[in-house]
């Protein structure tokens, strides 16, 4: 199910880690990391490219291209297998722990013979790391937290991978004779950030053709159960898919039931019972007569319960039933509402595509405006200079309006320093249309220091958006510790928008923090943080997260017309300058 690009990206990233673990050349490890990112973000399917086509991808040289071809032709790479053989499997397991890098994993193995996650947890519990340099109390605390994150993730699947798998299966089954309807349900339809398994529903008179088709898909590695009402399979990537076939007249009730959440369904069933009714996956029935009152559509089921249709992303028993009964359900933001993207990168820094390609791709997606926000100079590995950013600004002005009339904003992603300071002096920052400010380092500051740092950045008169605010990486890195209510209050007061970063490994802010921030009156920006043309499609994940946070068009600044957005940016800057002065 996964793209060949994704498989190759994972392999090259593993090879980079293996090089680092074995004390290999740091430059070589970095080269493989860059190649991994480039291939993962490349729009063309690498399995269809020859050696020359592979070498056309940025950061992919002859040696790396040869390894990619070797993997595509044989399923293995000899150099990778050789490195794997030299490192115990347990050590390779250790580097999967968030916050624990390859070098620390190797030291644990060499000095203390620790070769598994369980052994490491036990060693920390027994205070066996106290004499090991670089493993102080704070580091050990972070490692334990990383182990917890990994255990919590368990077998859960990231949203984007689950969605890709589900959409491919839905497409396959929808083409079969007799299929009236087909869709995915469950937590995936509710756009949760990770998914335990995938629920797929089909409306049809006969179930056997669909059950057989699922079991026979090329991606199916194992048939867990095969029946007339439910079939469960596991894909080659370890994803469990459960298929249920419903009578067409029960489609709406089944879709509502299997979408969940469990807590939401308890609420709807409670309402049904109160009216002398029974709600199941087959319909809404009168208890005494067993007469079906509603079942064909979700709208019909909800209406018979005295409710408007409730969007799936709100069905978490967080007040949506009560709001619906009061007629106060929000008209949540949709992907169609998004007019622009306010956080993107090009190959001037760590993006994979040149400015012209990113702009053209954004215009093809129908955006009305688009901001280019490459990294500022304090993210030193990007080697940004004043001259480079000003030259880019000239080119952005030249391209403004060229593609389908799409307007361009020239911005930057600033780095928030340990004291809340940002790159460039005020007079230089004043030349940007838009400034996103983000944390890229010093994640381990104490709560008080981190809060002060974020507050200072958000109060800066030239900071318009706080990028990926908590810095979390789902299942890999926890968010920074700060008094977020204080940060949210400052953002509302200063006119600084909070980003909902649509990168699927971030989704930062998360839905629960969005709900908290909204109570403070904060405005938001749903951005892709795109580093390649493909990443522009990540917008859907950011919008799904915004929906789970109950956001409307009014809450999201990049749903506004450009004139209104510019007014927000300029008015915010003037008011904050006055407050600071």
How many Cβ atoms are within 10 Å of 326's Cβ, its own excluded?
A: 9
Q: Give 404-416 pLDDT, tens digit per residue.
A: 999 999 999 999 9
> Has residue 472 got a pLDDT over 50?
yes
Domain 263-325 belongs to what topology?
Beta Polymerase; domain 3 (3.30.210)
- 423-439 mean pLDDT: 96
pLDDT band at 17 (very low <50, low <70, confident <90, very high): confident
Is the domain defined by 157-246 classed in CATH 3.30.460.10?
yes
C-alpha separations of 206 from 201, 228, 257, 336 in Å:
13, 9, 21, 36
pLDDT tens-digit profile of 159-218? 998 999 999 999 999 999 999 999 999 999 999 999 989 999 999 999 999 999 999 998
Pick the CATH number of 4-153 from 3.40.640.10, 3.40.50.150, 1.20.960.40, 1.10.150.110: 1.10.150.110
Return the number of other C-beta atoms located less than 10 Å from residue 85's C-beta.
8
- Could you tell me the two tokens for 336? 């169609």
Q: Is residue 154 very low, low, confident or very high in pLDDT (cuts 50, 70, 90)? A: low
Mean pLDDT, the chain, whole residue set: 90
Within this chain, domains 263-325 and 335-580 share the same CATH topology = no
pLDDT digits (tens, 9 = 90+) for 76-87: 899 888 888 877
For residue 136, give the 3-state DSSP assignment.
coil
Q: Among candidates 317, 329, 314, 313, which has minimal Cα distance to 270?
A: 317
Judging by beta carbons within 10 Å of its beta carbon (0-12, 13-18, 19+), is residue 175 exposed, middle or buried? exposed
pLDDT-derived band at 581 (thresholds 50, 70, 90) equals very low
Per-residue pLDDT band for 153 (boundaries 50, 70, 90) equals low
Class in CATH terms, 335-580: alpha beta
Delimit the domains of the chain by residue range. 4-153, 157-246, 263-325, 335-580
Quick check: helix, strand or coil at residue 104? helix
Q: Which residues pair with 414 in a beta bridge?
A: 437
d(CA 151, CA 447): 25
Which residues are registered as beta bridge partners of 434?
411
Given this model, what pLDDT does residue 156 score?
A: 81
What CA–CA distance (Å, rounded) separates 238 from 261?
A: 23
Q: What's the whole-model pTM score? A: 0.84
Q: Maximum CA pair distance of the chain?
A: 79
Q: Rounded to an integer, what distance in angstroms lies between the CA atom of residue 562 and that of residue 211?
A: 50
Q: How many CB atoms lie within 10 A of CB 364?
A: 13
Q: pLDDT digit string (tens) for 298-340?
A: 999 999 999 999 999 999 999 999 999 999 999 999 999 999 9
Is the per-residue pLDDT at 14 higher than 90?
no
CB 530 within 8 A of CB 536: yes
- 110-124, 186-200, 230-244: which has the minimum mean pLDDT? 110-124
The proportion of the chain whose per-residue pLDDT surpasses 90, expressed as a percent, equals 67
* pLDDT grade for 575, boundaries at 50, 70 and 90: very low
């Amino acid at each position: 199910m996964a793209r060949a690009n994704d498989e190759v990206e994972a392999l090259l990233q593993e090879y980079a880690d293996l090089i680092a673990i074995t004390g290999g050349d740091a430059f070589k490890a970095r080269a493989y990391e860059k190649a991994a990112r480039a291939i993962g973000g490349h729009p063309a399917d690498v399995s269809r490219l020859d050696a020359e086509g592979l070498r056309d991808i940025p950061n992919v040289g002859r040696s790396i291209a040869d390894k990619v071809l070797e993997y595509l032709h044989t399923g293995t790479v000899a150099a990778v297998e050789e490195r794997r053989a030299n490192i115990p499997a347990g050590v390779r397991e250790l580097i999967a722990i968030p916050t624990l890098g390859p070098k620390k994993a190797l030291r644990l193995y060499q000095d203390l013979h620790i070769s598994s996650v369980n052994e490491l947890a036990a060693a920390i519990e027994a205070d066996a790391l106290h004499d090991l340099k670089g493993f102080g109390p704070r580091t050990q605390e972070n490692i334990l937290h990383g182990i917890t994150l990994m255990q919590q993730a368990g077998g859960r699947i990231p949203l984007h991978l689950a969605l890709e798998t589900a959409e491919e299966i839905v497409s396959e089954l929808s083409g079969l004779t007799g299929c009236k309807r087909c869709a995915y349900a469950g937590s995936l339809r509710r756009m949760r950030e990770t998914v335990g398994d995938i629920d797929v529903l089909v409306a049809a008179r006969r179930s056997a053709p669909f059950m057989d088709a699922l079991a026979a898909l090329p991606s199916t590695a194992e048939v867990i159960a095969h029946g007339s009402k439910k079939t469960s399979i596991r894909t080659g990537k370890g994803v469990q898919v459960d298929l249920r076939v419903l009578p067409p007249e029960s489609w709406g009730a089944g879709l509502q039931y299997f979408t969940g959440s469990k807590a939401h369904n308890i609420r709807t069933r409670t309402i049904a019972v109160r009216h002398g009714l029974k709600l199941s996956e087959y319909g809404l029935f009168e208890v005494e007569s067993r007469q079906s009152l509603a079942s064909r559509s979700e709208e019909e089921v909800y209406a018979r319960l005295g409710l408007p249709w409730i969007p799936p992303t709100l069905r978490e028993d967080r007040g949506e039933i009560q709001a619906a009964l009061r007629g106060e359900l929000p008209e949540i933001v949709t992907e169609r509402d998004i007019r622009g993207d306010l956080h993107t990168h090009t190959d001037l820094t760590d993006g994979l595509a040149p400015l012209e390609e990113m702009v053209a791709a954004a215009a093809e997606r129908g955006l009305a405006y688009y901001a280019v926000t490459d990294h500022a100079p304090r993210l030193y590995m990007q080697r940004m200079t004043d001259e480079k950013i000003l030259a880019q600004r000239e080119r952005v002005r030249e391209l403004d309006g060229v593609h389908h009339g799409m307007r361009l904003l020239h911005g930057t992603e600033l780095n928030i320093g340990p004291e809340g300071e940002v790159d460039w002096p005020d007079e230089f920052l004043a030349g940007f249309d838009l400034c996103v400010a983000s944390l890229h380092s010093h994640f381990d500051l104490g709560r008080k220091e981190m809060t002060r740092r974020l507050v200072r950045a958000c109060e800066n008169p030239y900071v318009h958006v706080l990028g990926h605010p908590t810095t979390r990486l789902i299942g890999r890195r926890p968010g920074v510790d700060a008094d977020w209510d204080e940060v949210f209050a400052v953002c509302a007061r200063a006119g600084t928008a909070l980003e909902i970063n649509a990168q699927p490994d971030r989704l930062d802010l998360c839905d629960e923090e969005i709900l908290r921030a909204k109570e403070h009156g904060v405005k938001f920006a749903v951005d892709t943080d795109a580093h390649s043309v493909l990443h522009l499609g990540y917008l859907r994940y950011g919008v799904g997260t915004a929906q789970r946070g109950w956001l409307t068009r009014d809450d999201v600044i990049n749903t506004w017309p450009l004139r209104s957005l510019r007014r927000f940016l300029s008015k915010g800057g003037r008011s904050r300058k006055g407050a600071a002065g």
